[in-house]
Structure 1
Amino acid sequence: MKLRTVLAATAATVAISGAVQAESYRIGITQNNVGVDSYQTTYEKAFIAAAEANPNVEVVVLDGGGDVARQIAQMEDLIQQAVDAIIIWPTNGEAVIPAVRKAHKAGIPVVVTNSNIADAGFDFVASFSGPDNITQGARSAEIMCDKFKEMGIEDEAQIVHITGQPGYTTAIERAKGFDDRLPEVCPNVTVLETQPGDWNREKSQKVMEAFLVKYDDIDGVYAGDDNMGVGALNAAKAAGRDGIIFVGATNFAVGYEAMERGEYWGSIYQSPVDDAEAALKTALDVLNGEDVPFLNYFDTPKITQDNMGDFTKPVF
């Protein structure tokens, strides 16, 4: 068995050759933005590795580069290629619906990975494979509330919220999960302001710098992932603002390391390797006629300074 990788400006094609198999499939994937953070970079590597390990699979690996128009063009190209299935990590959960519908009408099953499309597109999707982002946001709220209760400030704490990329389903769902759950567990905590950090550490640091200038009293920060959370942490450290509780989601290595140093309180543990492997398996199960749930979630538990020893350090 031999892996042949052909790289172009926007695509990599991975073909597996070997003994003739009874069933072989050509699967296309268009990702959100591989270069934006280490989670997505690790996901792509894990997806290609999973394909390499399967002699029945040939995959066309594309990257939308965070550009909706580019991703839609990639979807149309995969439809023209008549691939057996398409996996999409949407750049925008609303905007990609027409392209997903077009694939469905062409008889190509679509699996959405990591971040779901908007509800209006569900009829055109075979399955969603990824984390339950609303549950993740709710769990992050519980982590923060529990810490405030431990500190005895649950009736007076004030927090700021840094969200991911606007229009991106994961960002919307994590924010909703957090915003809905926090008042249930800590009704007297005040959310001072919410601003997007676009999954970017440097932008999130600038957002936090502005928060620190605007608000004299900030007790906590919730960020939609650890990459943004560490950006906010860096801003607070530079400003000499101690005692702020930082909680994120998707525990990056930088978040894990900050937890080890006692600077970052908690997050949600999520593996890009599990994410990638689950997406490919879901697509294959759909093609093989298996009974696949529409929402095919994998678990993402809470991780804090108290239990981090139970988890391995993230590789991304």
Structure 2
Amino acid sequence: MTSIMTNTAAMGALATLRSINMEMETTQARVSSGLRVQAAADNAAYWSIATTMRSDNKALGTVGDALGLGAAKVDVAYTGLNNAIKVVDEIKAKLVAATESSVDKTKINSELAELKNQLRSTAESASFSGENWLYNTDAAGVATAQIVASFNRAADGKVTVGTLDVDVTATILIDTADASRGLLTADVDADALLATPTGTAANYFLIDASASTAAAATGTEIALSATTTEAEVGAMLRVVDNILENLTDAASSLGAVKSRVDMQNDFVSTLMDAITKGVGRLVDADMNQESTRLKALQTQQQLGIQSLSIANNSSQGVLQLFR
């Protein structure tokens, strides 16, 4: 039946055209943004996951920055320890030379004094961002240093921040508040380092950093004079060798921490890339598919317009009956 009141064909064509236009808007939005899921209305589950993971990835980026800061602190302390090892090694060589009866011990002591000044300078300057793991002036001593190393989300959604702990007490070279806490300022019993100790303590320390306080070392500072005996030089040499071993152990520990920080930093970077890829699989649009679909919808839109035009024109044929 043909009706001039209700154009069923035109209504059908219009509904189809509206549907095509809505699909085109969706496809154009995906093409322009590159996202298949832009809002919760597109896919609530995927949008929620993507939003959470993007937030976690941002937190991991901050962890990466913290690891970089921690790595810098470890590098500075490690560099200072390595330099201290070289200087103490030189002091050891000077003491070996002092065992020769014909050498001028006072001249060697002048060299020792300069080498000890170099150790002080090394310890004081090994600071980064206000932290010095080789030099302490705080009466309370140093605590364990913590480097932010990870951001973790448990299965129940709760988040925690993981840290990498560094035992700074083992790396302090000079402690002006308590000489016993410094590798270079603490007393070392030379008698205990003998193959067969005599039982008579002979304490020596390398650097006198706090002679005016009650916490100063009580032994004898390693220094030479014209009257220094061969036995005393031998005792000093044993103590310096022991200090060198302790410095080497401290540097080895810091080296292990340095390696751990580098590994964790690489892992965090890789993890961030993996999360970004995972989020992309959930919400990114397939541009090949969307561009092909957009082209097809454009064709459908043109056909819809033509169909609507034909449907509208069909009612004009009724007018011919009245002519």
TM-score (norm. length: structure 1):
0.28
Would you tell me which structure has more helix in proportion to its own residues? 2
TM-score (norm. length: structure 2):
0.27
